[in-house]
Amino acid sequence: MNAVQTTQAQKRASADKRADSFPFVVTADLNDPYDDVIIGDRAADYDGIEIQGVRNLYENNDPRGTCIEVDAENPQFFSVYIHIKNGGVECVGDFGTHALAQAYANELHVKYGWSVSDFTPKKMNCLNLSVRVMLGDQSAYACIKTDKTSLDVRLSPGRSAKTSLSETVKEIREKAARMLKRADLIEAAATQL
């Protein structure tokens, strides 16, 4: 099989993988990396990583699937692309939040040594995101740093750092939703006084 046939076979495999994940529904929990399917043994064909805010032009669950376009002003979700040395890009992951896309781009940077170009608006960026896992005697922590803040998150025992952080995100979002409901109730009570 020559390089062109290999690329076409990998793209068909990627399309099959993506078809298995339909219907395509965008939520903040969207965390769909698929670099292994796209890159395979062709890492030498690529030389960079890009993060773009994007939008599906079709509604969730549309039988036509998806039609994705770059939307830096009002992204619905974020995609990570790898730059092909002789031109073009290939998508290797879709994410519900910019932070998830950055973390994945950073994983690819560490794995392949390619530089990351983030084309999302600055208000969306956590500039220079770095994540380290620190292991202590009794527990492990994900140490998250950006230009503006730092945060240590205790990781759940028996789970990978990625799984534990995803579970923490879900818990925080659920707590925030409960707090917003309480705020709405308090605000309604205040208007009756």
Instruction: Tokens 């974020």: give the residue.
Output: 78
Query: Do 67 and 142 reside in the same domain of the chain?
Result: no
Q: In the predicted model, is pLDDT for residue 5 greater than 70?
A: no
Same domain, 158 and 68: no
| Total domains present in the chain | 2
CA distances from 82 to 58, 157, 175 (A): 24, 33, 35
- Rounded to whole angstroms, how far apart are CA atoms 127 and 122? 8
Contact 38, 108 (CB under 8 A): no
Determine contact, residues 31/25, Cβ cutoff 8 Å: no
Domain termination site, one of 125, 140, 171: 125
Boundary (domain end) residue, out of 125, 144, 166: 125
Could you tell me if 77 and 16 lie in one domain?
A: yes
Instruction: Tell whether 163 and 183 lie within a shared domain.
Output: yes
Domain boundaries, position 81: 1-125
Of 125, 157, 183, the domain-final residue: 125
Q: Does residue 80 share a domain with residue 173?
A: no
Are residues 89 and 104 both part of a single domain?
yes
Which of the two residues, 170 and 21, has the higher pLDDT score? 170
Do 116 and 192 share a domain, yes or no? no
Q: Is the pLDDT of residue 73 over 90?
A: no
Which has the minimum average pLDDT: 7-16, 73-82, 116-125, 179-188? 7-16
Mark whether 119 and 50 lie in a shared domain.
yes
Residues of the chain with pLDDT > 70, as a percent, come to 82
Q: Is the pLDDT of residue 46 over 90?
A: yes
Examine the domain organization and report whether 112 and 187 are in the same domain.
no
Q: What is the pLDDT of residue 85?
A: 93
Is there a single domain that holds both residue 89 and residue 48? yes
Residues facing 144 on adjacent strands: 131, 151
Q: Are residues 19 and 95 in the same domain?
A: yes
What are the tokens at 77? 């979700």
Q: pLDDT value at position 14?
A: 47
Q: What is the pLDDT of residue 117?
A: 87
Band of residue 47 on the pLDDT scale cut at 50, 70, 90:
very high
What's the mean pLDDT in 166-178? 85
- Looking at per-residue pLDDT, the higher value among 54 and 14 belongs to 54
Per-residue confidence (pLDDT) for residue 127, from 0 to 100: 57
Both 109 and 142 in one domain: the answer is no
